[in-house]
Chains A and B, each alone.
Chain A
Amino acid sequence: MVEYKPQYYPGSSKVAKNRKKYMDPSYKLRKLRTISDDDLVKLMGHRVPGEAYKSVHPPLEEMGEPACPIRELVEPTPGAKAGDRIRYIQFTDSVYFTPLTPYMRAWMGHTRYRGVDIGVLSGRVPLEARERDLEKVAKDLVETEIFDPARCGIRGATVHGHSLRLDENGMMFDALRRFVFDKKTGEVVYVKDQIGVPLDKPISVGKPIKEEELREMTSEYRVDGVPFREDKEMIGFVQRLHMLRTEAGFDPNKVKGI
């Protein structure tokens, strides 16, 4: 039997290749900036830096769990072992050449991380996990190439902005103005946490990625970038998927060739 090799995603275009790359956990995401652990904790706003994690149940070791083959099979994450609360980080990604689209955040999250629950909406993607696990995942999500300081936003609520035009500094709209462009340093600075509570000190998340670089890195098809129309393999894949589902729903005996 041929060894199974995940393909992750169809398509022949640059965008499709980027999608495959981000979803493939063997590809190491490029680190572009450093955000201190404490600053990340402040941005998320779930606890004060240095504060102990709150727990919702005793550590698993103390709980005397029942015999269960699934529990034996699945190693709990550190947060689950400790009984941490489930907390969140949520992102809004602009339609203008951001590295990740909402579905990409979910697909990539599920291939790379354990113990995460990711929802997908057009204008926001919440990722929930046990708190200490969340902080590890969030580090990747903010420090690496999948985050652009200007066109990705860390937003718990009032996420409006993904589809709006960009402001004069190339920043995505944010009604709460949690982040601002510092013209002196050329960096994007958060002045409020993800839910909109003012921070004691501004937190820099670095310089915006240049548009020409974003166009190379993006996982978004766009008519003014990589047009979906030109990725014939991708379109054919979706059409086939739709036909198979339709025929299976009408009469599964009609489905051939899969």
Chain B
Amino acid sequence: MATEKRMFLEALRKKFKESPEEKYTKFYIYDGWKQSKRKQEFVEWGTKLAKERGIPFYNPDMHLGGIPLGQRVLMPYKLSQTDIYCEGDDLHFINNAAMQQMWHDIRRTVIVGLDAAHMVLQKRLGKEVTPETVNHYLEVLNHALPGAAVIQEHMVETHPGLVSDSYVKVFTGDDELADEIDKRFLIDINKEFPADQAAQLKAAVGKRIYQVLRMPTIVAMTCDGGTMSRWSAMQISMSMVNAYKLMAGEAAIGEFAFAAKHAEVIEMGTLMPWRRARGPNEPGGVPLGYLADMCQASRVKPEDPTWVALEAISMGAVLYDQFWFGSYMSGGVGFTQYATCTYTDNILDDFCYYGADYVKKKYGGFGKAKPSWDLIKDVATEVTLYGLEQYERFPALMETHFGGSQRAAVVAAGAGVAVSLATGNCTAGINGWYLSQLLHKEEMGRLGFYGYDQQDQCGSANSFSYRSDEGLPFNLRGVNYPNYALNVGHQSAHTGIVQAAHSGRGDAWTTNPLIKIAFADKDLKFDFTHPRLCFGKGALREFMPAGERSLIIPSR
């Protein structure tokens, strides 16, 4: 690739204001934190609030006994394939409302099938179920789900102004049934997806009908993931009693509750083991393939599967690295600095498109070649060498990804995505990732940190293993898979390796068609079709989230 065509050069020039190829520079001249507008803002607020609260607060003089941050360039970051530049601080989820909303939109979602309930209504209770009764039930539930009473008297309820993001919609693979559902309640597969993807999805769903329930963001913020299916099941059961005029408490109602709480429920994340003690719908339990399906890039730009994978990767970085590893598992704030490497400055984009071009030229397109040792070795080695060589040719690139784990993640992601694109097989893709890690370690004589490298040095052996506790189809892995439980900095790219295999061969979904459809919803607050752009809006403070409490707190 000609030097000037490197996708990351523009960002590097903007970050350092020097030639990206220059090996020497000046340090210690940048006036520390004062070079950063965001840090200046932090100091201003920290000083003001320290006075107000009477307890010492944010004070950069505490750093290194008086040596402030910023002895080198505190570089800005470009959200890849957008025009947005921001400071690193703006990408910490505490400072970024869009990142918070992405997670809240995932956590507050539960999918519940309606067919079991309809069967009980028809066969056991002798009730008629028609599109009209379904529409009526959905109207009742849209009243009840945010936190309103439907059959009780003298009940407390939630303020609609606090919970307006809560609602229920349905989808089905049956076009005739879909036609009869009130459009306000319908996720219309035909409308939301390209025709070939819609056909695949409808065939997978068939005549079944599913509810997609969004609990209020404020509930997602204040309760745990396990709350969601309980909240939805209670409101579903109450709404059934109301809509179909049922006796509250007869044995059949227990079956509604069982269906709504267990039998027909699809959680977004599985339970965690006791040593990490989390309920369902927590980030650690979201399988890679589920997260890839939540990302909706594949339906808006199916002709560019590399871009689709990169968008999915950015969601993985925020969910797994920033939320799960960075906070649930580790605490502190350091993981953001690290996780941004996969979605900023067009660096991973450059490596992935290099791999995609290589695959197109050598293997005739995406998903055209069967997985083989020759292919995995060829593609993974070529993309790895290309990536490492870029770091060595452009010292500013090396300085941007100043941690070895960042470089290891980005180079191996490029290799894994390329193998996935070539073969349409993400297990081959993850095997390419592990080859990349081993090559990287020997080339540079360094890789990540202790906890980073460990999984990569034994990963070759588990990539094709299907033995329990050691192997699992790659789509279903995630941080809940034993060997990835502490696998920081990997899961973002792993999400993309899953996505690339499927988008490369034109699949409408990677793992679960129901999840893919559930997030094809324009009423979600977070834009799952363009996650990187949305994170950028959050960084620029242009993103309006749900869950605001201004109605119930004093005005400033």
Co-assembled chains A and B: yes
Residues of A in contact with B (beta carbons under 8 Å apart): 19, 95-96, 100-104, 119-123, 158, 160, 162-168, 170, 173, 175-177, 196, 219-224, 227-229, 234-235, 238-239, 241-243, 245-250
Q: State in angstroms the CA–CA spacing of A250 and B449 once bound together.
A: 27
Are B399 and A239 within 8 A (Cβ)? no
Q: Would you list the 10 A-B pairs with minimal beta carbon distance, nearest first? A: A122-B404, A101-B445, A249-B461, A245-B460, A250-B464, A121-B449, A228-B443, A102-B446, A249-B465, A223-B389
A-contacting 9-mer, from B132-140, B263-271, B360-368, B434-442: B434-442
Are A122 and B405 within 8 A (Cβ)? yes
**Residues of A close to B510: CB separation below 8 A:** none
Are B26 and A168 within 8 A (Cβ)? yes
Q: State in angstroms the CA–CA spacing of A250 and B471 once bound together.
A: 9
Besides the contacts A163-B403, A176-B67, A249-B461, what 18 more A-B pairs have beta carbons closer than 8 Å? A102-B446, A122-B448, A123-B403, A158-B64, A160-B402, A165-B25, A166-B25, A168-B26, A173-B27, A221-B445, A222-B392, A224-B392, A228-B443, A229-B389, A239-B381, A242-B460, A246-B431, A246-B463
Question: A10 to chain B: closest CB distance in Å?
Answer: 9
Q: For A122, A123, A221, A235, which residue has the most chain B Cβ atoms within 10 angstroms?
A: A122
**Residues of B close to A241: CB separation below 8 A:** 438, 460
Are A165 and B22 within 8 A (Cβ)? yes
Are B439 and A238 within 8 A (Cβ)? yes
**Residues of A close to B462: CB separation below 8 A:** 249
- Report B465-508 CB contacts with A as 1/0, cut-off 8 Å: 10000110000000000000000000000000000000000000
Q: State in angstroms the CA–CA spacing of A238 and B442 once bound together.
A: 8
Question: A91 to chain B: closest CB distance in Å?
Answer: 12
**Residues of A close to B395: CB separation below 8 A:** 165
Q: Which of B67, B442, B448 contacts A234 (CB 8 A)?
A: B442
Are A235 and B439 within 8 A (Cβ)? yes
| CB of B455 within 8 Å of the partner chain | no
Are A167 and B24 within 8 A (Cβ)? yes
- Count CB-based A-B contacts (< 8 Å): 148
Are B65 and A196 within 8 A (Cβ)? yes
Please give the number of chain B residues whose Cβ is less than 8 angstroms from any Cβ of chain A in the complex.
56
**Residues of A close to B405: CB separation below 8 A:** 122
**Residues of A close to B458: CB separation below 8 A:** 245
Are A163 and B442 within 8 A (Cβ)? no
**Residues of A close to B404: CB separation below 8 A:** 121-123, 163
Are B445 and A219 within 8 A (Cβ)? yes
Residue of B nearest to A98 (CB): B445
- Report B340-360 CB contacts with A as 1/0, cut-off 8 Å: 000000000000000000000
**Residues of B close to A100: CB separation below 8 A:** 445
Are A248 and B461 within 8 A (Cβ)? yes
30 contacting pairs across A/B (C-beta < 8 A): A101-B446, A103-B441, A122-B404, A122-B405, A123-B404, A162-B446, A163-B398, A163-B402, A163-B403, A164-B402, A167-B24, A173-B27, A176-B67, A177-B71, A221-B443, A221-B445, A223-B388, A224-B393, A228-B385, A228-B442, A228-B443, A241-B438, A242-B435, A242-B438, A243-B373, A245-B458, A245-B460, A247-B464, A249-B461, A249-B464
Residue of A nearest to B400 (CB): A163
**Residues of A close to B464: CB separation below 8 A:** 246-247, 249-250
**Residues of A close to B525: CB separation below 8 A:** none
**Residues of B close to A248: CB separation below 8 A:** 461
Secondary structure of the B side of the interface?
A: helix
| CB of B552 within 8 Å of the partner chain | no
Question: A1 to chain B: closest CB distance in Å?
Answer: 30
Q: State in angstroms the CA–CA spacing of A160 and B385 once bound together.
A: 25
Q: Which of A19, A173, A220, A243 contacts B444 (CB 8 A)?
A: A220
Are B447 and A122 within 8 A (Cβ)? yes
Q: A121-B450, A245-B461 known; A167 and B25 CB under 8 Å?
A: yes
Question: A128 to chain B: closest CB distance in Å?
Answer: 13
Are B64 and A103 within 8 A (Cβ)? no
| CB of B530 within 8 Å of the partner chain | no
Are B444 and A167 within 8 A (Cβ)? no
**Residues of B close to A19: CB separation below 8 A:** 445
Q: State in angstroms the CA–CA spacing of A120 and B22 once bound together.
A: 28
**Residues of B close to A243: CB separation below 8 A:** 373, 377
Q: A101-B446, A221-B444 known; A168 and B24 CB under 8 Å?
A: yes
| CB of B453 within 8 Å of the partner chain | yes
| CB of B72 within 8 Å of the partner chain | yes
Residue of A nearest to B447 (CB): A122
**Residues of A close to B444: CB separation below 8 A:** 95, 101, 220-221
**Residues of B close to A175: CB separation below 8 A:** 64, 67, 71-72
Question: B46 to chain A: closest CB distance in Å?
Answer: 21
Are A165 and B450 within 8 A (Cβ)? no
| CB of B274 within 8 Å of the partner chain | no
Q: Which of A168, A219, A223, A239 contacts B435 (CB 8 A)?
A: A239
Are A122 and B446 within 8 A (Cβ)? yes
**Residues of B close to A173: CB separation below 8 A:** 27, 71-72
Q: State in angstroms the CA–CA spacing of A13 and B463 once bound together.
A: 31
Question: B555 to chain A: closest CB distance in Å?
Answer: 43
Q: State in angstroms the CA–CA spacing of A169 and B399 once bound together.
A: 18
Q: Which of B22, B25, B445, B449 contacts A220 (CB 8 A)?
A: B445
| CB of B299 within 8 Å of the partner chain | no
Question: B198 to chain A: closest CB distance in Å?
Answer: 37
Q: State in angstroms the CA–CA spacing of A110 and B162 once bound together.
A: 62
Are B403 and A103 within 8 A (Cβ)? no
Residue of A nearest to B25 (CB): A165
Are A119 and B450 within 8 A (Cβ)? yes
Q: State in angstroms the CA–CA spacing of A119 and B405 once bound together.
A: 15
Q: Which of A95, A165, A235, A250 contacts B381 (CB 8 A)?
A: A235
Are A164 and B381 within 8 A (Cβ)? no
Residue of A nearest to B404 (CB): A122
Are B448 and A121 within 8 A (Cβ)? yes
